[in-house]
Each structure stands twice: as C-alpha cells, then as structure tokens.
Structure 1
Amino acid sequence: MTALTQLSQAIHDAPRWHQAEQFQDGSEIRIEPQHDQALGAVVYGLDARKAQSGETIYRLKQALAEHLILIFKQQTLDDLQYLAFASYFGSIFRPGADIPVLASQDETGTPPDVVPVSNAVGKGDYTGHGELAAHADHQWTPLPSFGSLLYAIELPQDGGQTSWFNTIRAYEALDDATKQHLDQLQLITYNPFVRAKSNKGTNGYGSTPLYRFKDQPIVGHAYPHPLVRTHPESGRKGLWLNERSEVELVNYDDQAGSELIASLREHLLKPEFRYEHQWQQGDVVFWDNQVTLHSRRPFPAEQRRLLKRISLAGGRPF
C-alpha cells in the first residue's frame, strides 16, 4: 500500500463521530470577544483533539470572520492532531516549488505542512530570535494564504510576544477621498526570500528597499494585488500592505508612490489597530491572514522558543 502523506494520515487517524467519548459537545465551548482590543476573541473549552460538529465549526468560522483572530487555550496536540483540526477550516497552503516561502525545503521547494517557527536548533531555526516586522504571510505569492494557526510549545521567559494589526479598522479610519483613491490601486509585493538569496546569505530585510523605483532591477516574479482588499465573507475592506517588504504601486509615479506607501505604513501600525498577545504554553492562535498583519518582539537568543505554524490555502485577492 502506498504510504500516506502527513495530512492524509492526520485525517485517517482523526476521531470518528460514532465514538461518543471523542465527539465534543458544542455547549462546552465559549467564544468571548476581546471588546477592549482592536481584534480577537478567546475560545474556551474546545479540545482540538476531538471531533467537532458542523455547528461548532460554523460558529468558529463566523467568529473568525468577525473578530479576525481566535485564541484557543490549553491545547495539547501532536502534529497529526493539529493538522486534523486545522483541516476543518480549509486546505493546507502549498505554494509552487518556484515560489520560496518560510521553510521551503531544498528537496521539494515547498514547506512542510507543519512548520516549526523556532530558534531551537534542529527544530526549524527559520526565524531566529530578533524582531519581525508586521507582515501578512505569503503576500508576494499569486494565491496568498487565507489564514494561519500558530501553536505555542516552548516559550522564552522574556519577549517573543506577537502582535496583530486590524487592517480593516485602519482602512475605515481613512477619509473618504483617500479611500476612493486607494480603491483603484494595485500593489506588487516582492518576495523577500528571493531577495535574501540574491543577497547571498543576508537576512533579506535589512538590505531590502522599501519601495522599488522603476530604475531598480526587479528581483523575483511580480504578482499585482489590490492595495485595498475585500474580505470574501464579510465584504469589509482592509489595507493589503505590510511594514517592510519591497513593494511597488502599478502604473504610479515613483516618488509619489514611495511617499504614499510610507504614510500608509505609519498609519497601519497605530496602537488603536493593534493587539499584542502574551503567549501561554498550549495557546493556538488562528488568524485571518487576509485582513491582518502580525509582528514579533525580539527575545534573548539563549532562551528557547518553539511554535508550530499551519497555513491554509487562499484565493486570489480582490
């Protein structure tokens, strides 16, 4: 018999509905919005190892579209259980082998289904211990991921907090004339992993231009997406722009484009659009990647931090 992929094995091994002790009663699950924060809701009582009803998954999908991040507390999962739970919400993100992303493997050109996000040698030393600028995952790809889940396994004593930014609120705070102007624009976000390879071993960010002028070489493929993205379920609009990647407005004056992007980036990072998560072991945070950004505070290199990320496939932004 042909060996199963990791995802196929996860679903094969998932709890069966007829096993009553593994089918979770939805009345045990509470979703509490963070009304004092820019986004987010905390989910209590859900055991991601158990089979979930259609009503529960529908509730969670509605809550994600409304609150943009869901925080599941006190989870204890192996990789197959984690994958089985994530697959309730969509297909696993798998970019083409010609589009490098975090954790792309040398043999296949694609990342594993479960990506270790860690500074722990031997467990996926992909992101180190430094600060990570606010970004949306896979924004430079033709079909960026719809969302990601991040599971906290080992945490440092100091630092390492993750912040999320509500790009819907950021868009809605703009004046009407600015909104109308931005609604007509397309943005290219260039792949930082291609830039990092071209810089021969540098980390990419420090030497990456924030805006590509037309007299500068193009590094990697260009995939134009709307600068203002419409959420496919709620219809709300958000700014589709990150803090530091090399970008370019399509058919726009270089200097004016550079200034506009700089002002929008400053606007996006205002405290009123931000929620900072203080991680606890066993947290799983599930965020809508289409209308949020996320960043990370630095932490001491000698302190271990291990989280595991699963990203879900998305469609072409519109």
Structure 2
Amino acid sequence: MTSLTQLSQAIHDAPRWHQAEQFQNPEEISIIPLQGEALGAVVFGLDARKAQAGETIYRLKQALAEHLILIFKKQTLDDLQYLAFTSYFGSIFHPSADNPVLATQSDTGTPPDVIPVSNAVGQGDYTGHGELSPHADHQWTPQPSFGSLLYAIELPEDGGQTSWFNTIQAYEALDRDTQKHIDELQLITYNPFVRRQQLQDHDSNGYGTSPLYRFKDQPIIGHAYPHPLVRTHPESGRKALWLNTRSEVELVNYDDQAGSELIASLREHILKPEFRYEHQWEIGDIVFWDNQVTLHSRRPFPSDQRRLLKRISLAGSRPF
C-alpha cells in the first residue's frame, strides 16, 4: 500500500462527527500546562480514535502555539487511526527525493507517512540506541516540517527519555545587542544524511560524522538552503533561534572564524537547563511538538532493550 493510499484510506475510514458513539465531546477535554517547565501542556480526556469537533482542534492548535508541545496520554491507535488524527493539523511532510531525511525509502525517495523510530530489528532501525543531540527535524530542506507527533508503543526499562528545548525563550534571554546582531543573519544547515551517505561514517548520535561549522575552503556536501538564524513563528509572531546543536552549518556572507565562534556561543546558550523539558515516556503517550521553535534530543538506552515509537511529521512553509 502506498503512503498516499494509506492516508486516503485513513481519512475514508475515520469516524465522523455526526456519529454520536464515535464523537468526542469537547467538554471532556482539558489542557493543563506543565508547572515549572520551559514548555509543554498535557491534554486530558481526549481519545484520538474519535472524531473531534472544530472547537477542539482550534483549542489544540492555539495550545500548541502557546506551549510548543502537547502530551496526549493513554492512547491506543493503529496506523490508520493515528494518521486520521494527525491529519486534523495539516498535510503529511513529503520532502523531495533529492533531500533525504530519516527513513527515506530507496524506491520512492521519500519517507513513509508513519515512520517507526526504533532499534527493534525489522521495525525501523533508523536511530539506534545512542544519544541524539538537540536538533530540529528537516532543517536542511527548503520547507522544513512544521511539527511532528511521536507515539510510544514499546519502551526500554532504562533511558530513552526525550527532551525538548524552547528556542523562543532562548532567543528572548539574549541581550539586546546580540539579538540585534543576529536578527538579519541567514544560516545554512547542511543535510547530515547526504554526508552520511557519502562518507559512510556512522557515529553514536545517529547522524554521521560532520564538522560543526563549514569554512569556505571546505567542500559543500548536498544542497544549501539559507534560512533565517532567527525565525518568526507564523502564528504567534514570536522570534526563536533556528539552530541545532550539532549538524554542519554556515552563516551566509560572514567571516569564517567569527561565524564559528558565534554559532558555538549560541549553541551553548540554547542548552541551558532553564529552556529544557525532559519527557519520561509511558506506553500510549503521543507528544505533538512545534518543530519551528523547539529542538529535541534523546538519552541513550541499552542496546539489548527494545524501543519502538512511531512518528508522523507535518508539512511546513519556508521559514521567515
């Protein structure tokens, strides 16, 4: 079954709002912000298998723009139900074949709609069991995804926690002079999967070995799409640092040494604990995050313990 057919089937089979037994009462749903955390809210009472009212989806979209991650507890979904729920929030992210991402398929040149993020043989094997450094997904594409949902199905006994970083708060905590200096800068993030394909050099973070900053005398590997270093959220209008902590990057029309030092300083700043929330996964959790203004990372876990989550990413627009 192709991904297009799968999504079409999911929407065809989805519950309808006029079917009372399959309709979610909006009054059953509450959204509670995480206390003392840099970002996040828990959504109680929602059953993602049911049809959702317009007012519920509007509330959830508003809450995502405000809290940046939403946590849905105790969900039980098959892939089609998961796709149907996700489709309330946007189109599935499908990059072009010349911009490989996690789980890009050799036959189609694009990833499947539902990606198994797993170390379990035969169910993904895309990210292994090592630490994943803080990053935004698909940052090296011309139109990065706006958000993703990650659904926990099987978890290790030790490790594997996921952290999210609030890059709006990180930007707002900078002094005014630094903000003014970086507001108009353009940043290129180079595709780590292209480098991995070319170098065939894997390391423990799952993205392949690469320099942290590209100097002008170094070769360009893959396409180069300049995006703002300081990104504006399309709904809230708030500004955020659009910078991960490890992939190869380059500031456009900027001195190499000064650029390398500036990026290193900003990366150190983003990692401050006051901008971070760490999620302790439970089976049935779905975490929905805004990929435009957050980074996420993963703690390592033992290689002999299984971990299976399923991710769906949603299409975004050109950063501005």
What band does the TM-score fall into relative to the shorter chain?
over 0.9
Report the 3-state secondary structure (helix = DSSP H, G, I; strand = E; otherwise coil) of the residue aligned with 2:245: coil
Match of 2:241 among 239, 242, 254: 239
TM-score by length of 2: 0.97
Task: Check conservation: 2:3, 2:112, Cα contact below 8 A.
Answer: no
**Per-residue deviation, 1:35:** 2.7
Asked if 1:158 corresponds to 2:155, the answer is no
Corresponding residue of 1:221:
223
Match of 1:301 among 300, 303, 307: 303
What code does the residue aligned with 1:85 have?
F
Worse-matched range after superposition: 205-214 or 126-135: 205-214
What code does the residue aligned with 2:151 have?
Y
Corresponding residue of 2:212:
210
**Per-residue deviation, 1:206:** 5.3
Query: 2: distance between equivalents of 1:4 and 1:65?
Result: 28
Asked if 1:80 corresponds to 2:57, the answer is no
Q: 1:265-276 to 2 correspondence within 5 Å?
A: 265-276=267-278
**Per-residue deviation, 1:48:** 0.1
Corresponding residue of 1:32:
32
Report the 3-state secondary structure (helix = DSSP H, G, I; strand = E; otherwise coil) of the residue aligned with 2:94: coil
Q: 1:276-287 to 2 correspondence within 5 Å?
A: 276-287=278-289
RMSD value over aligned CA atoms? Answer: 1.2
Question: Which structure 1 segments of 5+ residues have no match?
Answer: none
Worse-matched range after superposition: 124-133 or 3-12: 3-12
Worse-matched range after superposition: 292-301 or 198-207: 198-207
Q: Deviations over 1:14-72 (max 9, x none)?
A: 00222101010011001000131000000011000000000000000000000000000
Q: Deviations over 1:182-214 (max 9, x none)?
A: 101000000000000111253474520000000
What code does the residue aligned with 2:170 have?
A
Corresponding residue of 1:97:
97
**Per-residue deviation, 1:153:** 0.1
Corresponding residue of 2:145:
145
What code does the residue aligned with 1:242 have?
N
Report the 3-state secondary structure (helix = DSSP H, G, I; strand = E; otherwise coil) of the residue aligned with 1:5: helix
Corresponding residue of 1:131:
131
Question: Which structure 2 segments of 5+ residues have no match?
Answer: none
Task: Check conservation: 2:193, 2:207, Cα contact below 8 A.
Answer: no
Corresponding residue of 1:259:
261
What is the aligned length? 317
Report the 3-state secondary structure (helix = DSSP H, G, I; strand = E; otherwise coil) of the residue aligned with 2:96: coil
Task: Check conservation: 1:205, 1:244, Cα contact below 8 A.
Answer: no
Report the 3-state secondary structure (helix = DSSP H, G, I; strand = E; otherwise coil) of the residue aligned with 2:82: helix
Change (3 A) 1:4 1:34: closer
TM-score by length of 1: 0.98
**Per-residue deviation, 1:3:** 11
